[in-house]
């Protein structure tokens, strides 16, 4: 089953902003809060092809990047197409 996953830090403003957009679009997502968890961060970096910034967002196991990337997809009307596979 397709899914949306997001790696976050609790007080990261970009993480909060990305989750806000997903919630606004009524998207169910799995959040991995990785504050202080170096093993989880290493897994995120591996999944994200070396990207270390937070958040890292995955749609159907494909990394789409971070908050700015999520909003760019939305502004280009491409996010809905990705999400329609799971809504």
Q: Report the first-to-last Cα separation within the chain, whole angstroms.
A: 11
Q: Is the pLDDT of residue 87 over 70?
A: no
For residue 17, the model assigns a pLDDT of 98
- pLDDT score recorded for residue 1: 34
CATH number at residue 39: 3.40.30.10
Which residues, in sequence order, are bridge partners of residue 32?
7
Query: Which tens digits make up the pLDDT trace of 6-59?
Result: 999 999 999 999 999 999 999 999 999 999 999 999 999 999 999 999 999 999
**Can you give the pTM of this predicted structure?**
0.92
| Cα 20 from chain centre | 11
**Structural domain total, the chain:** 1
Domain that holds residue 30: 4-83
């Amino acid at each position: 089953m397709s899914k949306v996953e997001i790696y976050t830090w609790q007080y990261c403003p970009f993480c909060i902003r990305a989750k806000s957009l997903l919630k606004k679009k009524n998207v169910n997502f799995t959040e991995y809060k990785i504050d202080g968890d170096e093993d989880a961060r290493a897994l995120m970096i591996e999944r994200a092809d070396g990207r270390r910034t937070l958040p890292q967002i995955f749609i159907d196991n494909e990394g789409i990047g971070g908050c700015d990337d999520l909003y760019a997809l939305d502004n280009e009307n491409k996010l809905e197409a990705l999400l329609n596979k799971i809504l």
